Chains A and B, each alone.
Chain A
Amino acid sequence: MQHIPQVAYRKTVAMVALCVLLAIVAIAAISFGSISIAPGRVFEVLFGLDPRDQTDFARDALVITQIRFPRMLLGAAVGAALAASGAVMQGLFRNPLADPGLIGVSSGAGFAAALAIVLGGQLLPASVNKLPFEILPIAAFVGALTATFMLYVVASRGGRTSMAIMLLAGIAFAALAGAGTGWLSYISDDRQLRDLTFWSMGSLGGATWSKVWVVVPMVLPTLIAIPLLAHGLNAMALGEAEAYHLGVNVNRLKIGAILLVSVAVGAAVACSGLIGFVGIIVPHVLRLSVGANYRFLLPASALLGAALLVGADICARTIVSPSELPIGIIMATIGAPFFIWLLLRRSPEFAI
C-alpha cells in the first residue's frame, strides 16, 4: 500500500519543478535579447525596487515594461492554451496524436485571418480598417468558433457526437481552409502576401499590452475551467461506453471540451498565428514522465506549454539577433522530428 503516497509525492515534486522552470524561463526571456539586461535589474524593474546602478535604467525599464514583459506574458498564455487544449483534445479523441490543429480549429482561424488581411481593406468600412491588428485576432477567433460549430453540425446526429467523423471532417475542413487561403494568396498584392506568410508562420512579435489584455482574459478563465474536465477525460480514456457507465455525461463533456478548446485556441491563434506541435509534445512528455491522470496532466501541460513557448521565443529572438525568426518555424523544427520519433517508438498506445 505504499505506492499511493509515492505517486502523489512525485506529482507534487513535478508541479513544483514545472513552476520553477517557468519562472526561470520567464526571467531569462525578459533579460535576454538584442539588449542584454541583468536578471537583478529585471527584479528591480518588475517589483519597483530602488536601482543599485542608474546606468541606462530608464531605457531598460522601458524595454522591460513595454516590450519584453507583455511579450513573455503573451507567449506564456499562448503556450499554456495550446498545450492544455492539446491534452483535452487527445482525451476527447482517445488518441495521443490529436492536436487542436487536427479538428480544424486552427485552420478555420487561419482562413478567417487571411480573409481579414486580404479582403479587409475592401469589405470593411475605412474607420474599422485603420485597426488591422485588432481586426486580425477578432477574425481568427470568429473563424475558430465557426469551424468548430460546423464540425459539430457535421459530426452530430441525434445528440450524439461521433469522434471518428469529427476527426475526418476536421481533415476535410483543414483542406478546405487551406484551399481558401491559397485562393486568397493568389489574389493578394505583395504587401498582403508578406503579411499572410509571416502570420501563418506564427510569431509573438508585436506583442503589446493591448494584445495581452485581449488574450489573457480569454485564456485564463479557460485554463481555470479546463481542470473541471479531468474526471470525465480520465473516464473517456477507458472508452465512451465505459465513461457513460461510470456516470459521466459524455455529450456534455464533449460540448464543454470543444467550446473551451475553441476559445483558448482561437485566442492563441489570433494573436500569434499558427504555432504547431506544442499541443502534441507537451502532454506526451508529461505522460511519459509522470503518468496519464488528467487531474495532474491538465495543469502540468499548461505550465510546461507556457515554459516551452517562452523558451522557444527566446531562441526565435536571439538566433538571428537583432532580427528575429517566426516562432512557428522554431516549434516545427523541434516538433516535427519529435513527432516522427513518437511514431517510430510505436508504444502500445498508438494502436489506432
Chain B
Amino acid sequence: MQKSLYLDADKCTGCLQCEMACSYEHEGVFNPVKSSIKVFNFHDEGRFVPYTCTQCDEAWCMTACPVDAITLDAKTGAKVVNASTCVGCKVCTIACPFGTINYNSSTGKVTKCDLCEGDPQCVEACPTGAITYVEADATGFERMKHWAKATDNAGAASGG
C-alpha cells in the first residue's frame, strides 16, 4: 500500500524537530538549512506551516531533468535524486511548481524529500502529529472524520 506524507499546520508549533531529523538522516548533521521539509513561520497570523514535496505522479522535476538523475522509487512512490548522476544544473528547481526541490551548495547537487525509503524521519520526530505518513488514498480521512463528527447532530457531535 502506497503512503503519503500528510501535513497538518493546525498542529505545528514551529519546533523544527522535523528539519533536524531530515538533515541528520541525509547529511549527518542538525541543520535546518539542509532539510527538505521546511516549517514557515507566518508570524503576524500566528501560524506555523510545514511544507515539503508531495511526490507528484507526473513529476515535472523528473521530466525536466536532462540526465535522468531523478527516478521513481517504486516501493514508496518517491521521486529520488541520484546524487551520482545529478550534474547540478538546477533545471528541476525551475520545473517544480512548488519549490520543493532545491540546490545544495555544499554538494553541488539538488536535494528533495525521498521519504527516507518508506520510513520518513520527520514523522518520527514530530512531537505533535503535525506530520503523519498515511495511506496515499486516504490523506483526507482524518479531516473527513472531524467534519463527520461536527455535522452528526444526532450522535457524535453531542459527545456520543
Decide if A and B are genuine partners.
no
Chain A residues packing against B (C-beta within 8 Å)? none
Q: Which B residues contact A (CB, under 8 angstroms)?
A: none
